[in-house]
């Protein structure tokens, strides 16, 4: 019997005017974008945290501190590649990733195929093993006011 584990990831970033909006490795056209130390890709950050948590390897902040200049402005897909290597080094492989993005705008649905391609390439898994969905916050709270964006993910990993 093989050992499997489930991980949960969450990330949130402020939206700032005239700032790039990177989601799932895709730059979206919008009047504001997620702000952070790296490229502030909430989707990929949440995926990293889910994978790290499932493997009991702490969290994204532990491995990629926002006080470390090596990570300033870096593509979060590179962080994901590092996380996947950590999993491999510890005998884990990814089964699947399921993600939910919560924001009012821009519309995510047209970009999901490209996001899945970028994430699959960075994680070394099939696009069929990645699910990305999006919803709004029905104009409530900081998400509804377009002040921030949130991503939730779950993943399954298996001991190789």
- Give the model confidence (pLDDT) of 83-137 as tens digits: 999 999 999 999 999 999 999 999 999 999 999 999 999 999 999 999 999 999 9
Q: pLDDT band for 142, please (50, 70, 90 cuts).
A: very high
Residue 5 has pLDDT above 80, yes or no: yes
CB distance 58 to 119 below 8 Å: no
Residue 1 has pLDDT above 80, yes or no: no
pLDDT of residue 136: 96
- Give the model confidence (pLDDT) of 28-60 as tens digits: 999 999 999 999 999 999 999 999 999 999 999
- Predicted TM-score (pTM) of this structure: 0.96
DSSP string, 113-134: HHHHHHHHHHHTS-GGGEEEEE
The count of domains in the chain is: 1
Residue numbers of the domain that contains 129: 4-159
Q: Could you tell me the CATH number of the domain that includes residue 150?
A: 3.30.1330.50
**Which region, left, alpha or beta, applies to residue 139 given φ > 0 means left and ψ of -120 to 50 means alpha?**
left
Residue 8 marked as a ligand binder: no
Residue 60 marked as a ligand binder: yes
Residue 19 marked as a ligand binder: no
Residue 104 marked as a ligand binder: no
Residue 65 marked as a ligand binder: yes
Residue 13 marked as a ligand binder: yes
């Amino acid at each position: 019997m093989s050992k499997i584990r489930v991980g949960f990831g969450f990330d949130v970033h402020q939206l700032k005017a005239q700032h790039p909006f990177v989601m799932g490795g895709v730059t979206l056209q919008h009047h504001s974008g997620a702000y952070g130390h790296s490229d502030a890709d909430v989707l990929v950050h949440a995926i990293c945290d889910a994978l790290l948590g499932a493997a009991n390897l702490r969290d994204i902040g532990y491995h990629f501190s926002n006080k470390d200049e090596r990570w300033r402005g870096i593509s979060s897909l590179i962080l994901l590649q590092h996380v996947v290597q950590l999993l491999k080094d510890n005998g884990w492989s990814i089964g699947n990733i399921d993600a939910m993005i919560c924001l009012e705008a821009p519309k995510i649905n047209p970009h999901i195929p490209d996001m899945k391609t970028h994430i699959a390439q960075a994680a070394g898994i099939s696009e069929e093993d990645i699910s990305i969905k999006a919803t709004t916050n029905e104009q409530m709270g900081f998400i509804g006011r377009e002040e921030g964006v949130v991503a939730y993910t779950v993943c399954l990993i298996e001991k190789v």
